[in-house]
Amino acid sequence: MSKETFETGVPLTALAEDEQLFRDSVLEFADQRVRPLVREMDEHAKMPRTLVDELFGLGVMGIEIPETFGGAGATFFHSVLAVEALSQVDPAIGLLVDVQNTLVSNAFMRWGSDAMKRRYLPALASRSVGAYALSEAGSGSDAFAMAARATARDGGYVINGRKLWISNGNEADVFIVFANVNPEAGYRGITAFVIERGAPGFVVGKKEDKLGIRASSTCELLLEDCAVTADQVLGEVGKGYKVAIETLNEGRIGIGAQMIGLSRGALAHAVAYTKERKQFGKAIGEFQAVQFQLAQVATELEAARLMVYNAARLRDARKPFLQEAAMCKLFSSQVAEHVTSLAVQIYGGYGYVKDYPVEKLFRDAKIGQIYEGTSNMQLQTIAKNLLS
């Protein structure tokens, strides 16, 4: 499979002109290449490198990266469509692509020096997975209470600290790591650094054994006297808080896309099963009580989808989208929990066992209310914006 095509023979750059065709092409890939692996990946909590390579081949690992750097040169909205389509089959794969595009690549494109862009963007578009390391044991929602320290030395810095819950940690080659160079200055000392796997003093540690999105690796990172040069600073020294805030605002739209994709998958399974399962001599889909429940969640899902799309469109148009990003993440994660819970209910006893797909999607949905800003943090953002 070539880098720019997938069976249709249509270049990815051409697909970008027709968003629906682009989304359908990614969904076709997910159905054919991802779906047969979902059960095994979930059980073993691991995605095969061959599948990651196929995602690079499809072109969805560098969607916004300019063509001059080997990317597709498409829009943020196309990243959202890709994450949604992949998540409809497996939200763990959707997350891999989401982090790569909405967090890592975006950070390099916005704050990377020309030298950084030349060094990392072609690799991120073609072969290298990226990870975004902000969280720590004591700094989750309070992200700027981080304990990781970067001490100036020999024209560069030495970093010590421990990062937790880092998505893509097991697969990543390139890490954006946040540490404080001046703790006395509080958040104004936070700085973003680029560190490559295998750097002395940098170790990818334990992989978490998670409830859901199990194929997506979530790891700790250990930094012990990890020396970096001054040109490994992403953006400006002391401006890492700005890198973090602005990137995460975009990332929340990506999580919204993951949640609506997951919900679409769960709803499709539920609707199909209502036509198969029979009680009292007829398909359960013929009962009005079941019909109304499906109608309710379908309406909620459509509202969530439009909220995610609207936030992505605003971002592409360079218009304010902070409130819309918070709203779409908040609401889409609530909808995902509702839709997947109903899907399990409709499947009855079968919905509670791993032989059927909705049990996994139910487990996958919960993380949407936790990572990249909890639901309470989204409510706080929305309220602050309304009252400002």
- Domain 241-387: CATH class, spelled out: mainly alpha
CA angle centred on 100, ends 94 and 102, rounded to 5°: 85
62-94 per-position pLDDT tens digit: 999 999 999 999 999 999 999 999 999 999 999
Which one-letter DSSP state was computed for residue 208?
Answer: P
Q: For residue 274, is pLDDT > 60? A: yes
Q: What positions carry a catalytic annotation?
A: 372
Q: For residue 46, is pLDDT > 70? A: yes
Token code pair at residue 105: 């690549």
Q: What is the CATH number of domain 132-238?
A: 2.40.110.10
206-218 per-position pLDDT tens digit: 999 999 999 999 9
Question: CA 242 to CA 248: how far, in whole Å?
Answer: 10
Question: CA 148 to CA 163: how far, in whole Å?
Answer: 8
Strands annotated E in the chain: 130-133, 149-153, 156-167, 174-180, 190-196, 202-207, 218-229, 233-234, 278-279, 282-283
Nearest to residue 336, comparing CAs of 250, 264, 269? 264
Q: For residue 5, is pLDDT > 80? A: no
Question: CA 268 to CA 346: how far, in whole Å?
Answer: 12
Token code pair at residue 281: 């001599």
Question: CA 213 to CA 80: how far, in whole Å?
Answer: 18
Region class of 119: left (phi > 0), else alpha (psi between -120 and 50), else beta: alpha
What average pLDDT score do residues 12-16 get? 42
Helix and strand numbers, DSSP H then E, in the chain: 13, 10
Which pLDDT belongs to residue 12?
A: 46
Q: For residue 11, is pLDDT > 60? A: no
Could you give the percent of the chain with pLDDT greater than 70? 96
CA–CA distance from 84 to each of 38, 47, 196, 221 (Å)? 16, 18, 29, 28
CA atoms within 13 A on the CB side of 140: 10
Q: Are 133 and 160 in contact (CB under 8 A)?
A: no
CA–CA distance from 284 to each of 194, 216, 241, 308 (Å)? 54, 35, 52, 32
What average pLDDT score do residues 233-255 get? 96
Q: Are 219 and 170 in contact (CB under 8 A)?
A: yes
So what's the architecture of 12-129 in CATH? Orthogonal Bundle (1.10)
* Annotated domain spans of the chain: 12-129, 132-238, 241-387
- Amino acid in the structure at residue 191: T
Confidence class for position 278, pLDDT limits 50, 70, 90: very high
- The DSSP element (H or E) to which 42 belongs, if any, is helix 38-44
Q: Which residues pair with 131 in a beta bridge?
A: 175
Q: For residue 4, is pLDDT > 70? A: no
Collapsing DSSP states into helix, strand and coil, what is residue 196?
strand
Q: Are 13 and 73 in contact (CB under 8 A)?
A: yes
CB-based burial, 199-228: b 16+ in 10 Å, e otherwise: beebebeeeeebebbbbbbbbbbbbeebeb
Nearest to residue 100, comparing CAs of 2, 177, 173, 14? 173
161-195 per-position pLDDT tens digit: 999 999 999 999 999 999 999 999 999 999 999 99
Question: CA 97 to CA 80: how far, in whole Å?
Answer: 10
Which one-letter DSSP state was computed for residue 317?
Answer: T
Q: What is the DSSP string of 241-270?
A: HHHHHHHHHHHHHHHHHHHHHHHHHHHHHH
Which pLDDT belongs to residue 141?
A: 83
